[in-house]
Amino acid sequence: MTFMSKKGYLWYCCMVGACCMILNGYDSSTFNAVQGSKNFMNYFGNPTPEVVGSVNTAYTVGGVLSGFFISAPISDTFGRKWTIHIGCGIIIISTLVSTFTPATIGGFVAGRALTGIGQGLALPAGPVYINEMAPSEDRGKIMSFWQIFFGLGAFLAYWINYACTQYTAQLGDWDWKIVMLCQLLAPLTIMTGLLFCPETPRWYIQHDNVEAATKVLHMIRDDPEKIQNEVQDIAQAIAFEKEVNNGRYAPLWRDKSVRYRFLLALGLNIGQQFTGQGSLVLYSTIIYKKVFSDNRQIQLINALNSTFGILFTLNATWIADLFGRRPLFLIGAAGMAMCMFIVAAVVTETPTSENGAKAQPVGIATVFLMFFFAFFYKPSWGATVWIWTTEIFPMNVRAQAIAMASQSQSVASTILQQIFPIFLDKKGFYAMYMFGAINVVLFTFVWFLVPETKAVTLEQMDTLFGGVDHTHKGAEILQEKAENLATEVHMVEETKVTPKST
């Protein structure tokens, strides 16, 4: 990429990594969208809410298994790039399975499980790649595009689906198969883009290849002195972690500082799903059927919501590094709680017509409040949870911790997927009161426990959370090794010059 500036090339590499979230955004919106297709429902024998929940659960279980146990070892051994490549390859296979499965829900479930496995590999590796490439002063801005690309994936899924709903009679079963098949676009784009991206400098240093790491940094940084300092900091931190806190998973529990960070990350990632957004993404079609009767109108609302979601998330690109992560978390939780309480009251306290829909003013108010909820969620608990999670862990457990923390979203989502469709079916919008209360709890959690990480380098996070400075301790270890080596060399030289006794 010689035609790009160094900063331009940095952004290119990070945006290719961020495209991994298009996989998640498109997929999570696809199944939600096609549930509104009568052709889809008829093709699979009109599955019950319990079966719908099991379809999503298959995806989640696949993601949890690969995310918890497979992604990190591959990422640490073969690199972040190869992990993303493998995940994208599996998603290509799963897309073909889901699209062309015979008319049995079991085949579709298998495709969803494969999709989960592919995403479980690629999604943890993406943010690790971005954070290990981006400088600390731009990390929040760049990482916010992770959530923007989720919105872009949802945008594509909903608008493609909306276009297909306009020609349902002509397309037949292809009104949902086209939506599924277009999922091929994202993994093919990512795999092509990665061909022009290097591996991360921190991965190279972890594998004792300082020369390659320095070469990569010269491709994406302008200041030679800062490059040398960055290489030194990374090498010192990794030296400490290998010497004192070695291991793949054990340091997550053995090191008090890392354990505290991991538990906070789990809380934030699980909390992200319990804000209500996860259920809205997966079941907005079913939710809006409680208010509207026309499927085309519902799909248009979904498409517009995904469009505005991208615009709302853009706020994180300048707020996260300007004001910090904590203000975004707190304002977001307060705003989401307000929206959930109000929309629950609006829908539950107004009459329902004979066709099952609400009056037009109630429908307008509901849509406005759901969009307003997204306004608070997208830049805060959408983008900032990923920013915060991916920047707080040391190198030796980064891939593992991010994989496990991010997949805790899937665990939380699985629980909600089993409960929420039934709860919504039985109680309607009273379910939103639950989400409002949860957001109040999340506000309290952040207020008392979550520290600010704005502008802190990856190698300095340890001191922020009460741990030892890995770069300082690593420097001492390297110095001690150098002195020991010098002593050994000196002793060898003395042996050579000392005459043998006769």
The pLDDT value given to residue 496: 59
Separation CA 20–CA 306 (nearest Å): 17
The distance between the two most distant Cα atoms of the chain, rounded to a whole number of Å, is 115
State the average pLDDT over residues 203-220.
Answer: 92
Q: Are 98 and 180 in contact (CB under 8 A)?
A: yes
Q: Classify residue 229 as exposed, middle or buried by CB count within 10 Å of its CB (0-12, 13-18, 19+).
A: exposed
Residue 500 has pLDDT above 60, yes or no: no
Residue 502 has pLDDT above 50, yes or no: no
With tokens 């109000």, the residue in question is 342
Most confident of 78-87, 168-177, 319-328: 78-87
Q: Are 143 and 20 in contact (CB under 8 A)?
A: no
The pLDDT value given to residue 356: 62
Residue 92 has pLDDT above 90, yes or no: yes
Q: Taking each helix axis from N to C terminus, what angle separates 20-34 and 295-313, rounded to the nearest 10 degrees?
A: 160
E strands present in 10-135: none
State the average pLDDT over residues 294-299.
Answer: 77
Give φ, ψ of 221 to 5 degrees: -130, 155
Residue 144 has pLDDT above 70, yes or no: yes
The DSSP 8-state label assigned to residue 310 in this structure reads: H
Q: Which of 254, 257, 207, 266 lies closest to 401 in space, CA to CA?
A: 266
User: How many other CB atoms are there within 10 angstroms of residue 51's CB atom?
Assistant: 14
The pLDDT value given to residue 266: 95
State the average pLDDT over residues 431-448.
Answer: 94
Q: Which of 52, 305, 41, 26 lies closest to 179 in space, CA to CA?
A: 26
Residue 493 has pLDDT above 80, yes or no: no
Q: Grade residue 183 by pLDDT with cuts at 50, 70 and 90.
A: very high
Residue 12 has pLDDT above 90, yes or no: yes
Give this prediction's pTM: 0.78
Burial 292-320 (b: 16+ CB within 10 A, else e): beebebbbbbbbbbbbbbbebbbbbbebb
Q: Structure tokens of 462?
A: 């340890």
CA distances from 53 to 116, 393, 416, 419 (A): 15, 34, 9, 8
Q: Is 351 left (phi over 0), alpha (psi -120 to 50) or beta?
A: beta
Residue 437 has pLDDT above 50, yes or no: yes
Q: Structure tokens of 131?
A: 């954070």
Q: Taking each helix axis from N to C terminus, what angle separates 383-391 and 105-133, rounded to the nearest 10 degrees?
A: 60
Residue 74 has pLDDT above 90, yes or no: yes
Q: How many CA atoms lie within 13 A of 364 on its CB side?
A: 3
Chain segment 474-492, per-residue pLDDT in tens: 777 777 766 676 676 667 6
Q: Grade residue 196 by pLDDT with cuts at 50, 70 and 90.
A: very high
State the average pLDDT over residues 26-41.
Answer: 79
Separation CA 249–CA 258 (nearest Å): 11
State the average pLDDT over residues 133-147.
Answer: 86
Give φ, ψ of 70 to 5 degrees: -115, -40
260 or 357, which is more confident: 260
Identity of the amino acid at 255: D
User: How many other CB atoms are there within 10 angstroms of residue 458's CB atom?
Assistant: 26
State the average pLDDT for the chain: 85
Q: Which of 456, 134, 127 lies closest to 269 in space, CA to CA?
A: 127
Q: Are 139 and 131 in contact (CB under 8 A)?
A: yes
For 207-294, where are the alpha helices, taking DSSP H only? 210-220, 224-243, 251-254, 256-274, 277-289
62 or 84, which is more confident: 84
Chain segment 312-370, per-residue pLDDT in tens: 888 888 888 888 899 999 999 999 999 999 988 988 888 777 666 667 787 788 888 88
Chain segment 101-126, per-residue pLDDT in tens: 888 888 888 998 999 999 999 999 99
Q: Are 321 and 141 in contact (CB under 8 A)?
A: yes
502 or 174, which is more confident: 174
Separation CA 155–CA 330 (nearest Å): 27
The pLDDT value given to residue 22: 93
Q: Which of 316, 285, 331 lies closest to 443 in space, CA to CA?
A: 331
Q: How many CA atoms lie within 13 A of 401 on its CB side?
A: 29
With tokens 């290998």, the residue in question is 242
**Would you call 215 helix, strand, or coil by DSSP?**
helix
With tokens 């429908």, the residue in question is 363
